Amino acid sequence: MAPILIVFGPLVGSVIAGLFQRFIGDRAAMTLTTGLLILSALLSAWTFYDVIFAENARTIPLATWMSIGDFQATWALRLDPLSAVMLVVVTSVSSLVHVYSWGYMSDDPHRARFFSYLSLFTFAMLMLVTADDFLQLFFGWEGVGLASYLLIGFWYKKKSANDAAIKAFVTNRVGDFGFALGIMAVFAIFGSISFDAVFNDVEGMAALTWSFLGMEFNAIELVAFLLFIGAMGKSAQFFLHVWLPDAMEGPTPVSALIHAATMVTAGVFLVCRCYPLFEAAPAASAFVTVIGATTALFAATVGLAQNDIKRVIAYSTCSQLGYMFFAAGLGLYSAAMFHLFTHAFFKALLFLGAGSVIHGLHHEQDMRKMGGTYKALPLTWMLMIIGTLALTGVGIPVLGWGFAGFFSKDMIIEEAFMMGQEGLPFGMAAFWVGVIAAGLTSFYSWRLIFMTFHGKFRGEKEVIDHAHESPRVMMIPLVLLAIGAVFAGAAFKDQFVGRHAFTFWEDSLPAGPYAEGNYGEYYARSQAGEAMDDHGAAAADTYADEAHEGDHGAPSEAASHGEDAAHGAEEDHGEGEHHGHHPPDWVLWTPLTVTIIGFVLAWIFYIRFAGFGARLASREGPLHRFLLNKWYFDEIYNFIFVRGARALGDLFWKIGDMRIIDGFGPNGFAASAMAAARRLSKAQSGYLYHYAFVMLIGVVALTLWAMMGAGGE
């Protein structure tokens, strides 16, 4: 019953608030939707415990959706560790966004409609993450696309908001076309769209090829590639990223929900859910790595020059999604999900914190018109700094202490290095891109803090005189998110990517090469002589290395047991070459080093030599224009697709339709016939002697023809 309430509770709230607002009023609609989301969040926490710690993973069938020959599609709720994690992320962030919106949208005349859309958005995402087959996944996929369109364009009287909503909708249709083709290909190959049926049969279909235009394609590679095209659209990856910054035209709570828990996380979830397909498709996985790394670097560079506070954070989201994707492309699926999990807390914190700044400064979003606001907004300032420390991944490698992003982002960077060392394509390139992007992230994140809260106020005096802290209903969600931004990484590292990862993820996701595993379980199994799978051998071997060295290089009293377990694993599998993923010390310290460099440079540009950054920007050099204009992607797409489509339309309309079709048709033969008919109609005078004269002419003509014919014979 609890899972059904989790998923369908937000839908009930959305329907009632949207259709019956005039009967129940705004306050009742807001109370109902918020209450049902909080209930979903609490039940999601219980389900998380039940599925993972009570090991009660299950699938709950609801109804048969389609049954056409061999095509079977059912409504079902798949509850496994992967979906349980997503339930917690989606409902917790969404419930806090609902609470926050009570204050942020307090003056909006359409509050009930806004809360209805928020709940609809959440329902669609919950359907997506609990899907048991590709069709239900596609239903949720399109649902979040619809809800994002409604929310980005919520202020529909604002042209820029309407344009942004259409841009998001159209761009996502490009990705969704690839996703739909991928689902069709899945059914064509496997004869089913059920996850279990497809994933269990991947190995048997690994050698299948398809011929097209004289070329041979591996079927699994093609499916993985098409599915990732859909992920590129939803998660705003390079080439299909253009909609994400413009989505900032919607209300700030929408930005937080899209960027932290729904929509953009759907693509990462898709790749992780379909990991058996991607593991059998090395070329597609390499493509995922390249696109993810490129996105991480691209978005980080663009974030350096943006002046809208929300757009800076939006490009930060784009960059962090790049980290998640190149991790998944390298086979680090659990690390990608770990970063998705921690990212939800600090990114929601940063967006809602930006909303608090905008609310306190009377809807000002341009950082060039801010500065010196920390005295008027002290709590928002402190919470934004916490979010920035989490985003930039501040932590001490030796001590194992840090903010949430330190544990998840640094894990991805370090393991990308190890994958590169093992010869995985683009692993080393992804490592260096991750390092460079980390430095750029630190610079633009602290640039945001310094331009917004420090120095002199650069806007109108009336604005700073009336600046105020946000109401309590907006600050409580920020405080709760800040707690997650500080502690979520340390609290869940062992479960997501550490010693308990094997039991945490079970069969829903590979624990990863960095997971220590549950030593007690593997040691007992090795002692009992039971066969251990590859993960088990790796875990025991890893444990032996770490147990031998201890946490700080000192011998551990469990070393001998760890070595026994490792040797047991080697004897079972003949493996001894895997000695755990332990990157060199310089790799561990590199992310922190570039983070500090980014902070120092931002401090020099915007605090020590205040105004230097503004003077540099005012010169409008080619590099600054290039970054400010987002690598000119909008202009390129406008020239190729918008103007190109218009030119093609003009060609078909003015040449094809008007000149050819109309020229030969209505304006050609038809027009000539009509003109001739008009001339002949003039002979219809109505006078009898005119008709007699015409008849006489006809008789004369007929007689002449007869005579000429007779003469010819």
Q: How many whole angstroms separate alpha carbon 629 and alpha carbon 306?
A: 9
Q: How many whole angstroms separate alpha carbon 127 and alpha carbon 7?
A: 7
Strand pairing class (71-79; 401-402) = unpaired
What is the average per-residue pLDDT within 524-549? Answer: 41
The pLDDT tens digits of the residues spanning 8-32 come to 999 999 999 999 999 999 999 999 9
| 117, 150 Cβ separation under 8 angstroms | yes
pTM metric for this prediction = 0.85
| Residue labelled with tokens 């010869």 | 423
pLDDT of residue 687: 78
What is the average per-residue pLDDT within 585-604? Answer: 95
- Range with the poorest average pLDDT among 343-357, 455-469, 672-686: 672-686
| 51, 222 Cβ separation under 8 angstroms | no
The pLDDT tens digits of the residues spanning 614-670 come to 888 888 889 989 999 989 998 898 888 888 888 888 888 878 777 787 777 777 777
The string of DSSP letters for 375-396 reads: TTSHHHHHHHHHHHHHHTT-EE
Residue 201 CB coordination number (10 Å): 15
| Residue labelled with tokens 């340390």 | 490
Q: Is the pLDDT of residue 184 over 70?
A: yes
Q: What share of the chain is helix, strand, coil (3-state, %, to 5)?
A: 75, 5, 20
Closest CA to 253 of 355, 168, 129: 355
61 CB contacts (<8 Å, ≥6 apart)?
74, 75, 76
Q: Is the pLDDT of residue 575 over 70?
A: no
pLDDT of residue 237: 93
pLDDT of residue 549: 39
pLDDT of residue 712: 53
Closest CA to 121 of 163, 84, 150: 150
- % of the chain with per-residue pLDDT over 90: 64
Please compute, for residue 485, the number of CA atoms within 13 A of its CA located in the half-sphere on the CB side.
29
What is the average per-residue pLDDT within 412-431? Answer: 92
pLDDT of residue 711: 54
| Residue labelled with tokens 């802290």 | 469
What is the average per-residue pLDDT within 239-259? Answer: 91
* Alpha-carbon dihedral sign for residues 131, 135, 141, 146: negative
Tokens linked to 133 = 């087959």
Mean predicted lDDT score pLDDT of the chain? 87
DSSP class of residue 203 equals G
Q: How many whole angstroms separate alpha carbon 240 and alpha carbon 660?
A: 37
pLDDT of residue 535: 40
663 CB contacts (<8 Å, ≥6 apart)?
none
pLDDT of residue 207: 87
* Alpha-carbon dihedral sign for residues 106, 112, 117, 122: positive
pLDDT of residue 581: 57
Each domain of the chain, given as residue ranges in start order, spans 296-514+584-611, 517-573, 688-713
What is the average per-residue pLDDT within 341-357? Answer: 95
What is the average per-residue pLDDT within 311-318? Answer: 95
pLDDT of residue 661: 78
